[in-house]
């Protein structure tokens, strides 16, 4: 089968969406399929075309950037060429260009499958309000044309203003999660870089972005330190020059100044370092505040490493904890209740440790790829196309 994945940003850009598609594309390639990723050349220094782990990446030049989006005048030409030569199109939303590419699939009798990762909620501002409206309109058009819509959880699907319109087309496929295998020596080397004498270690793996609710963990930390004076936060992920989040980063500076001795930014970590990070933490936190967060892959990564999680009570985001019982769910923006939940787990961590191998298998990339493969073949058969 020839599979075309389409999304606005792809590796080396790091986000939950790009990680998802990267894992799925590589898993499909391992299963013997021909895989192409059509994406933007958001950085002019990136190659227009390259092969990575069996996946062909095609990048379309960007003319201008609008908020977090990009305008690619030649995308339409490339999309015609690629849709025509592939058996199925896998579109990943939110994405401004999805509707046009889904229409191309319709015209060429190629199944178009939307995977809806999250709602788009940009920071306040006239330009961002216009961008939100345009993308929502494009998503709606894509949903009407698409043959199927994939969601991570039924919880998010039924609560999402977008997905709930297309419930008859919805397929639930748990997201692909991978945690690198590391040796004891690699774990020791990672810990050597840190001052692990300060315990407990509270981890957060995210970009420094508005929807992540980082300020609520900052406000909760002093409450936690009343019982655990040496409690320390490790932040894994991009914390500098996050696109569209400059104002948010500046707003956190007063809080960070007060926490300078109790908060460490680690920057972007490679897969082995991420596994070491989750293992060294006593607990991890996902204090997201809106439906831009639809699941939180990092929760499963943390659980696979044996580390419980506290997450916000948001559709989809609460499901990893509900499904595994490996953590606590708290209302959004309640830093006091966030602190209470963290303390509850720290005081009785063994009660929250579950079967890590079962969690790993349920959310493996191969499991997700198999379900997508079955869906793709079903839709191709319905259209009477030969693979």
Q: Alpha-carbon distance 112 to 86, whole Å?
A: 11
Can you give the pLDDT at residue 334? 97
Q: Does the structure show a pLDDT above 80 at 119?
A: no
Residue 232: closest CA among 259, 260, 198, 256: 198
Strands 55-61 and 49-52 turn out to be antiparallel
* 181-190: average pLDDT: 92
Q: Alpha-carbon distance 28 to 83, whole Å?
A: 18
Return the CATH superfamily for domain 184-362: Glycogen Phosphorylase B; (3.40.50.2000)
- Cite the beta strand spans of 30-121 per DSSP E: 34-41, 49-52, 55-61, 64-66, 69-71, 88-93, 112-116
pLDDT tens string 279-329:
999 999 999 999 888 999 999 999 999 999 999 999 999 999 999 999 999
Query: Per-residue confidence at 146, pLDDT binned at 50, 70, 90?
Result: very high
Helix ranges, 31-69 (H): none
Say which residues have a Cβ less than 8 Å from residue 280's Cβ, sequence separation at least 6: 187, 190, 191, 194, 196, 201, 203, 234
Is 200:228 a contact under the CB 8 Å cutoff? yes
What are the beta bridge partners of residue 91?
Answer: 6, 114
pLDDT tens string 156-183:
999 998 899 999 999 999 999 999 999 9
Query: Per-residue confidence at 385, pLDDT binned at 50, 70, 90?
Result: low
**CATH 3.40.50.2000 domain residues, the chain:** 2-176+364-382, 184-362
Q: Does the structure show a pLDDT above 70 at 216?
A: yes
Structure tokens at 103: 């229409």
* 134-142: average pLDDT: 77
Rg (CA), the chain: 21
What are the beta bridge partners of residue 50?
Answer: 57
Is 118:33 a contact under the CB 8 Å cutoff? no
pTM to 2 decimal places:
0.86
Answer positive or negative: Cα dihedral of 294, 56, 269, 252.
negative
* 98-112: average pLDDT: 94
Is 21:6 a contact under the CB 8 Å cutoff? no
Can you give the pLDDT at residue 386? 58
Domain over 2-176+364-382 is classified CATH 3.20.20.370: no
Cα 26-98-100 angle, rounded to 5 deg: 130
Work out the percent of the chain whose per-residue pLDDT is above 70.
95
What are the beta bridge partners of residue 69?
Answer: 66
Average pLDDT of every residue of the chain: 92
Q: How far is CA 209 from the centre of its chain?
A: 13
Q: Pick the residue with more confidence: 385 or 155? A: 155
């Amino acid at each position: 089968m020839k599979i075309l994945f389409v999304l606005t940003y792809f590796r080396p850009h790091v986000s939950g969406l790009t990680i998802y598609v990267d894992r799925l594309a590589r898993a499909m390639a391992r299963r013997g399929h021909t895989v192409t990723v059509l994406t933007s050349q958001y950085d002019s220094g990136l190659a227009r075309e390259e092969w990575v782990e069996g996946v062909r990446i095609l990048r379309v030049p960007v003319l201008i950037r609008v908020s977090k989006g990009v305008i690619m005048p030649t995308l339409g030409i490339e999309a015609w060429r690629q849709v025509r030569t592939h058996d199925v199109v896998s579109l990943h939303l939110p994405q401004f260009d999805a509707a046009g590419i889904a229409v191309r699939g319709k015209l060429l009798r190629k199944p178009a499958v939307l995977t809806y990762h999250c709602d788009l909620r940009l920071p306040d501002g006239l330009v961002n309000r216009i961008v939100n409206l345009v993308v929502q309109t494009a998503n709606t058009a894509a949903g009407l044309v698409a043959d199927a819509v994939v969601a991570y959880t039924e919880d998010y699907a039924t609560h999402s203003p977008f997905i709930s319109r297309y419930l008859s087309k919805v397929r639930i496929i748990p997201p692909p999660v991978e945690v690198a295998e590391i040796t004891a020596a690699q774990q020791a080397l990672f810990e050597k870089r840190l001052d692990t004498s300060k315990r407990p270690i509270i981890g957060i793996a995210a970009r420094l972005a508005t929807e992540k609710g980082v300020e609520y963990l900052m406000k909760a930390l002093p409450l936690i330190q009343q019982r655990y004076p040496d409690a320390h936060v490790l932040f894994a992920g991009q914390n500098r020059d996050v696109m569209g989040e400059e104002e948010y980063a500046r707003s956190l500076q007063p809080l960070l100044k007060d926490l300078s001795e109790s908060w460490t930014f680690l920057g972007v970590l490679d897969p082995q370092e991420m596994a070491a990070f989750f293992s060294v933490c006593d607990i991890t936190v996902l204090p997201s505040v809106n439906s831009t967060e639809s699941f939180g892959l990092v929760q499963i990564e943390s659980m696979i490493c044996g580390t419980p999680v506290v997450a916000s009570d948001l559709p989809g985001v609460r499901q990893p904890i509900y499904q595994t019982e490996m953590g606590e769910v708290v209302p959004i923006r309640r830093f006091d209740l966030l602190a209470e939940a963290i303390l509850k787990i720290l005081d009785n961590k063994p009660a929250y440790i579950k079967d890590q191998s079962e969690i790993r298998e349920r959310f493996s990339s191969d499991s997700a790829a198999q379900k997508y493969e079955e869906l793709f073949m079903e839709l191709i058969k319905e259209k009477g196309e030969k693979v």
